[in-house]
Amino acid sequence: MDDVSDIQKLFNHWDIVKFTRAPWPLPENAALMNMRDKTLPAMEEGKQFSWAITLKESGEFMGRVDYRLYDGQKPDRGFFMGIPFQGKGYMTEAVMVTQDFMFFEYGLEVLIVKNALSNEASRKIKQKTGAEYVGVEDDTCGHLGDKTEVWKVTREGWERARSLLSGSL
């Protein structure tokens, strides 16, 4: 709950919200309601893992990565990075660390990841971190009316991508 005000501040930007199903304009207490009513209960039930992404030097909050494990659905991932921190490799690094946990410690075998068709930055992260393109769903993703790209990450695919990424860091 310590990061709620930072989440609200960084998430409450059209260039982030437009790719999501979050309401726009974002209500004043949206981050608090999401954390209190959805994220924390799901974490307590073992149905979600959520990590704050912070600057190593200062601890400043930059974004968040969530893995959702809901009954009857393939596990999926969602993330956001605040505008001032985008394009610097932080999200790729965060995905590397969290995918290591999900695949090698938690024991996940497959993960479904999705993005709005026009979300090029999200697509690039998926391509770098071992996701295989599955196709496009008619499901409208976000406020732009985009269709949704669907990707799959397997443990084996992540192992291959991880070795390539580790060599380039």
Question: Domain residue spans in the chain?
Answer: 4-168
Tell me, what's the pLDDT at 159? 95
- Looking at every residue in the chain, the average pLDDT score rounds to 94
pLDDT at 73: 85
- The pLDDT score that the predictor gives to residue 142 is 79
- Give the separation between CA 162 and CA 4, rounded to whole angstroms: 31
* pLDDT for 169: 55
CA distance 86 to 96: 16
Residue 157: predicted pLDDT: 96
8, 30 contact by CB (below 8 A): yes
Res 86: pLDDT: 98
Q: Which residues of the chain have pLDDT under 70?
A: 168-169
Residue 111: C-alpha distances to residues 59, 85, 125, 140 (Å): 29, 25, 14, 20
Report the alpha-carbon distance of residue 68 to residue 48 in Å, rounded: 4
Cβ neighbours of residue 40 closer than 8 Å, sequence gap 6 or more: 1
- Determine the topology of domain 4-168 in CATH: Aminopeptidase (3.40.630)
**3-class secondary-structure state, position 138:** strand
- The CB density around residue 82, as the number of other CB atoms within 10 Å, is 20
